[in-house]
Structure 1
Amino acid sequence: MILQAALLFAGLSVTASASTCCPPVRFSAVQSVTIVNSTFAEDALYSFIYDGINQRYVISGDLSNGFVTTTKVIYDYPKRTGFRIDTVARTCSAFRLQGQFKDQESVCVPGGAVSLGPFFYGYDVGRLSSKVYSYNSTAVNGEHQKVVATVTRKDCVPIVITTTTTGGQGGNALKVVGYNDVVPGIWDFSVFDIPPYCSM
């Protein structure tokens, strides 16, 4: 089953409203997610489709079976509703979304973030130029978080976002989200369609 929204997108409520940089308003990627705290460790691989124009995104995958597309969660902020969908079992449950769209997303680097300097991945003509930022945030449940975001120097596309949470119920926690195979745009908008068997 897909990790809960509190784990994947912990509802970062950053202290500054303006953004230092944001990726393209629409893009698709594969997310590799690792979450570790004092009681458990989880690894997962997801398809991630981001539609900043319509304030929504979709995460598809499965924690227990690796990368599959039969289970997905749609986050639709204009509707203030999320949907957990299993397309094989034809089951769906709706849940209310908290906060505002920009407050929920961790793909933008907020204003006031501290630059840790430029870096490069790889070498020679194939190297990738990146920028690294550090900033503090507060999760929806009030826990303090420190975020280190590595993004491409051009277009501010996320590469790796590391979030360290301190003082949580499970003790200190570390979440690492890597973005792979990033493609600008969305090739199939039907991924946002809500099945008729979903109830609000």
Structure 2
Amino acid sequence: MEWTHVAFVLCSMAALSWACCTPDQWQGVQSLFSGYAGFFHRGLITEFNDVAYDYEGKRSAVFLRYVNGDIEAKLKIVVRYEDDKDEGGMLYVDNYNKERCWKKRLEGEFHKACIPKDAKSYGNYSLGLKGKYEVTSYNIKGKRMDHIVTVQTLGEGVCAPIGQISMGRVGHYDVLRNVGFVDITPGIRNESVFDVPKDCADDWQDFDLPIDIDRQDYFLGV
């Protein structure tokens, strides 16, 4: 499916209440560099992740490779919402290193990947050669962090994620986070990425996660 077709289908819906939204289905690569400092602890977190987002099916998936000092982890995180809104959703975290699963019931609705209508636009500009790759950046005030989100406009009310820079305080730590996206393509090539991880299908016991999986500050990320 071409981007232009995706944009045409979604523009009438997205333009009403958002500055822009991503297509309902897309996948690609999402990287993260996050520096933090607080009291006597400071460090750098890096991630390089394969991600898939499906608003139509109310589900997302990320294969996450994470490094924070001496801590390294490979996880698959799947979010799935049922058709019945009262049921909410489920978060599955499969720890590949330990072959163990962690699950959590989610309240509310599935996150729609959009730039809020009240975001402040910094205007359009080009990345690389002038006029060849036009993008738009927005400033968004969050509850605990301020954000600069950059997107490529695909049509009226429809955009593809390029990057997000976030600055603020999370818990006891000052945080500066840079999230980037590459190889974003429309549609889902293999829907099995949203399957419940194998280690979560049978009986399971809760365990301490090696990383923080809080993604509430992501607007277009997974």
Give the structure with higher Rg (CA): 2
In structure 2, how many angstroms separate the alpha carbons of the residues matched to 1:32 and 1:94?
A: 24
**Quick one: which of 114, 134, 140 aligns to 2:139?**
134
Using the TM superposition, give the Cα deviation of residue 98 of structure 1 relative to its aligned residue in structure 2, in angstroms.
4.5
Counterpart residue number, 2:53: 50
Structure 1 residue 62, shift from structure 2 partner? 1.8
Q: Report what 2:18 is aligned to.
A: 19
Post-superposition Cα deviations, 1:138-179, rounded to whole Å, max 9, x if no partner, equal 2xxxxx22111100022410100112123x323321121101
Structure 2 length normalisation: TM-score? 0.69
1:66-105 aligned within 5 A: 71-78=75-82, 79-86=88-95, 90-102=99-111
| Alignment CA distance shift 1:29-1:109 (3 Å) | same
C-alpha contact 2:26 2:186 (8 A) present in aligned 1 = yes
State the AA in 2 paired with 1:83. Y
Match of 1:118 among 116, 124, 135: 124
The residue aligned with 2:5 is: none
> Which amino acid is 1:145 matched to?
M
Query: Counterpart of 1:101 in 2: which secondary structure?
Result: coil
Q: Which string of whole-angstrom CA distances, capped at 9 and with x for unpartnered residues, describes residues 36-87 of structure 1?
A: 111221111000100011221111022149xxxx631001233511001145
Task: State which drifts further: 188-197 or 80-89.
Answer: 80-89
- After TM superposition, the runs of 4+ consecutive aligned structure 1 residues lying more than 3 A away are 86-90
Conserved? CA contact 2:94–2:199, under 8 Å: no
- Distance verdict in 2 for CA 1:100–1:120, change over 3 Å: same
Amino acid at match of 2:181: Y
Paired residue for 1:33? 32
Calculate percent identity across the aligned residue pairs: 25
The question of whether the paired residues in 1 share the 8 Å contact of 2:22 and 2:160 is answered with: yes
The answer on 1:175 being equivalent to 2:177 is yes
Q: Which residue of 1 aligns with 2:160?
A: 157
CA distance in 2, matches of 1:183, 1:163: 24
TM normalised by structure 1 equals 0.76
Question: Against the structure 1 CA distance between its residues 149 and 76, is the aligned structure 2 distance closer, same or farther, given a 3 Å change threshold?
Answer: same
2:94 maps to a residue whose letter is I
Q: Distance in 1 between matches of 2:119 and 2:53?
A: 22
- 2:187 is matched with 185
Whether the 8 Å contact between 1:37 and 1:170 is mirrored in structure 2 is: no
**SS of 2:192 mapped into structure 1:** helix
* Counterpart residue identity of residue 42, structure 1: I
